[in-house]
Structure 1
Amino acid sequence: MIMQKLIEQKPPMHWERYVWNKMCISRYKFINWLVMRGRLHTAERSVIYDPTVSPLCLLCGEADETQTHLLFQCCYSKQVLVVIKRWMNIESPGEELSGLIRSISRSRRSKFQKDACNAVIAGAVYGIWMARNDCKWNLKVPTILCIVKMMKENVRRRIFLVMPKNVSRIDRSWFQSL
């Protein structure tokens, strides 16, 4: 059985550019790397080691806390993603991270804009995870506006610091308008 899991062929996922994007903040990269590998330590995984842990989502309390629910199906995360998509003008009905990444990579944007969009999505994933942990450890749920504001400031600052010198005028004005 273990050998089958090791040998099992999985379809290739091209998420390296998304996770290891130089515009992403390091802590965002790590959490998104865990997400892409399906290793985020949600209640679903905690129940395996400690059956006394509640499997319910800490942010909404309506469904079991799986990685997919926490990041895309929870009412809290849906609202965060709606605000982020509107801010970055991302048109994707995606119910999962890989679909969202795919729609950004297939969009008619410049490489700089795609990398910036990926950094924002990575920031949103990190912000949702941070809100969940704040709820778990500090017993308070940050407001959606608070999470989005913090993420916007961090992403803008990071992109400004690592922005290549050869960015076109159109991309510079696009970035300044964010």
Structure 2
Amino acid sequence: MGWLIAHKSLHTNSRLKGFGMNVDGMCFLCGQIKETQEHLFFECAFSRRVIQALMEISGLNLPDSDVLHWCIHNTDLTLQRRVKNAMVLSAMYQVWQQRNKSRIEQLVLRPSRIALLITDDMKRRIKERDKRKLTAHELEWLGRLKFM
């Protein structure tokens, strides 16, 4: 999904409308603004609440602007950066899933619940890693994460 986002290829309402489909073009999550990819992931009040809840649960500071550029053009391959990247991409995936649920089922989870889904996914991913390959500093950092 990250590739689709990076190449602005998701079928948002404004894009579907451009294809000639009969949609109103408004965001399914906030209902206030035209649903573009930029709006959905970076401007939508719902998405911002998801990121805020995620920061509160994780204890991590995530970028609040140009987050996609931050993820894609990262050259820092430290564990901390990889965990933050994975959290941001997971948040985007969850927002897209909620957008689709809203469209089909008229049902959306609370941002705090979505943040818990993301941190549960991160716990699973971290536990699957071979911790013998991590440095003492990285293991200490993981132990300080609020959700671990």
TM-score normalised by the chain length of structure 1? 0.72
Query: May I ask how many residue pairs the two structures share in their alignment?
Result: 144
Provide the aligned C-alpha RMSD in A: 2.2
Q: Report the structure number with the largest CA radius of gyration.
A: 1
Q: Residue in 2 aligned with 1:28?
A: none
Residue matched to 1:37? 7
CA shift for structure 1 position 146: 1.2
Matches within 5 A, 1:118-129: 118-129=85-96
Shift of 1:80: 1.1
Q: Which runs of 5+ in 2 are unaligned?
A: none
- Equivalent-residue separation in structure 2 for 1:95 and 1:165 (angstroms): 34
Supply the distance in 1 between the matched residues of 2:73 and 2:143 (Cα, whole angstroms): 23
1:81 equivalent among 51, 75, 81? 51
Q: Distance in 2 between matches of 1:116 and 1:159?
A: 9
The structural deviation recorded for 1:167 is 0.6
Secondary structure of the equivalent of 2:140? Answer: helix
Q: Counterparts of 2:21 and 2:79 in 1: how far apart (Å)?
A: 46
Unmatched tracts of structure 1, length 5 or more: 1-30
Q: Does 2:37 match 1:67? A: yes
Measured after TM superposition, the shift of residue 104 of structure 1 is 6.5
CA distance in 1, matches of 2:83, 2:73: 14
Identity %: 25
Paired residue for 2:128? 161
SS in 2 for 1:148: helix
Of 102, 111, 124, 1:144 maps to 111
Q: Contact 1:105/1:114 (CA < 8 Å) preserved in 2?
A: no
Helix, strand or coil at the partner of 1:165: helix
Q: Which runs of 4+ in 1 moved over 3 A?
A: 102-106
The verdict on how the C-alpha distance between 1:37 and 1:176 changes in structure 2, with shifts beyond 3 A counting, is same
Q: In the TM superposition, what are the counterparts of 1:163-178 in structure 2 within 5 Å?
A: 163-178=130-145
SS at match of 2:122: helix
Does structure 2 conserve the Cα–Cα contact (< 8 Å) formed by 1:80 and 1:124? yes
| 1:64-118 C-alpha deviation (Å, 9 max, x unpaired) | 00000000100000111123344252253414421x3279656xxx711111111
Aligned residue number for residue 98 of structure 2: 131
Residue 54 of structure 1: aligned partner: 24
